[in-house]
């Protein structure tokens, strides 16, 4: 068993260069999850010792209550049933953390995240690779174990940026249309 996500988070918090990039994270309790849902529209509840994208619950505020996602399951509950819905997915013996949900950008309709792989062959750390990990359709995790796949980061970013350029030029052309009155 590794050192756990909570401990890794605390270690990263000690570094000011990292701190401002870390999403708010706490040891999970129902009260804490509810409190975070007052501030953020989405939270992730994750097993402290999880891996491969397993056991992760996503809760999102929606117009009437909450959307609870677990794997490919999606349920809608009112605030009275949220506790039970979350509880039904928790392993009784497990420790969990609750984290602010980040809205990830998409590549061909699926979310992705960017990874930089570091290695320390001798005394110095080296970047050994960079990749985007693209989730399988309808997944909210990008892990390989859940059908995610790697794509060259450059490819993903250049696609995003051409899109952005397209949006910009469309807007520019619109502006060029003379208005009446
Ligand atoms: N706070 C979050 N906001 C948005 N997506 C998240 C968040 N936490 C995790 N994810 C998604 O779930 C995946 C798995 O989460 P992670 O914390 O890396 O657990 P694991 O150790 O199981 O890989 C991430 O790669 C990312 O795609
Ligand atoms: Mg991971």
CA of 35 to the centre of ligand 1 (A): 21
- Average pLDDT rounded to a whole number, residues 75-91: 97
177 pLDDT exceeds 60? no
Residue 178: CB partners within 8 Å, gap ≥ 6? none
CB 27 within 8 A of CB 10: no
CA of 113 to the centre of ligand 1 (A): 9
Residue ID of nearest Cα to ligand 1 atom 25: 142
Residue 169: CB partners within 8 Å, gap ≥ 6? none
175 pLDDT exceeds 70? no
Instruction: Give the residue, out of 25, 49, 50, 53, with the most ligand 1 atoms within 8 A of its beta carbon, to mutate for a pocket test.
Output: 53
- Tell which atom from ligand 1 comes closest to the C-alpha of 53: 22
Residue 97: CB partners within 8 Å, gap ≥ 6? 5, 6, 9, 25, 26, 27, 28, 45, 46, 48
- Tell which atom from ligand 1 comes closest to the C-alpha of 113: 27
| Residue 53, ligand 1, Cβ within 6 A | yes
pLDDT digits (tens, 9 = 90+) for 12-65: 999 999 999 999 999 999 999 999 999 999 999 999 999 999 999 999 999 999
| Residue 46, ligand 1, Cβ within 6 A | yes
Q: Which ligand ends up closest to the CA of 45?
A: 1
pLDDT of residue 173: 75
DSSP bridge partners of 66 = 61, 77
Instruction: Give the residue, out of 21, 43, 56, with the most ligand 1 atoms within 8 A of its beta carbon, to mutate for a pocket test.
Output: 56
Q: What is the dihedral of CA 156, 157, 158, 164, to 10 degrees?
A: 120
Mean pLDDT of the chain, nearest integer: 93
Model confidence, pTM:
0.90
Out of 61-70, 124-133, 144-153, 171-180, pick the least confident. Answer: 171-180
CB 41 within 8 A of CB 98: no
């Amino acid at each position: 068993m590794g050192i756990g996500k909570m401990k890794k988070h605390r270690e990263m918090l000690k570094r000011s260069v990292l701190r401002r990039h870390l999403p708010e994270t706490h040891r999970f309790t129902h009260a804490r999850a509810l409190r975070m849902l007052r501030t953020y529209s989405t939270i992730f509840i994750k097993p402290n010792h999880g891996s491969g994208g397993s056991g992760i619950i996503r809760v999102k505020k929606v117009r009437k209550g909450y959307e609870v996602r677990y794997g490919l399951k999606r349920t809608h509950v009112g605030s009275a049933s949220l506790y039970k819905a979350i509880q039904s997915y928790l392993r009784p013996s497990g420790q969990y953390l609750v984290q602010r949900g980040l809205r990830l950008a998409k590549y061909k309709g699926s979310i992705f995240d960017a990874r930089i792989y570091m290695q320390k062959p001798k005394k110095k750390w080296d970047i050994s690779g960079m990749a985007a990990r693209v989730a399988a359709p309808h997944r909210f995790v990008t892990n390989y174990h859940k059908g995610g796949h790697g794509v060259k980061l450059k490819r993903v970013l250049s696609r995003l940026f051409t899109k952005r350029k397209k949006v910009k030029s469309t807007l520019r052309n619109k502006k060029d249309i003379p208005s009446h009155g």
